[in-house]
Amino acid sequence: MSERGPIDYIQRTHDQYKALGYPAYQWVHNPDPAAFTPLRKPLSECTVGLVASGGIYR
């Protein structure tokens, strides 16, 4: 049995979409730094929300 290296899924997906005629994905470019607002109270007293698209489960 031969050892296989990891699969480069990003390149594989890029090649597959290119073969289907889709344009190359344009990554977001934000030249300005993200806005920063310091907390007015300790983190332990804050309510924190998490927004994600990765399928988080409790």
More confident residue, 1 or 14: 14
Beta-carbon neighbour count of residue 42 at 10 Å?
7
Q: Residue 2 has what pLDDT? A: 61
Is residue 1 pLDDT above 60, yes or no?
A: no
pLDDT value of position 15: 92
Indicate yes or no: pTM above 0.75: no
pLDDT, one tens digit per residue, over 2-48 is 678 888 888 898 899 999 999 988 878 889 988 888 989 999 999 98
- Three state DSSP letters for the chain: CCCCCCCCHHHHHHHHHHHCCCCCCCCCCCCCCCCCCCCCCCHHHCCCCCCCCCCCCC
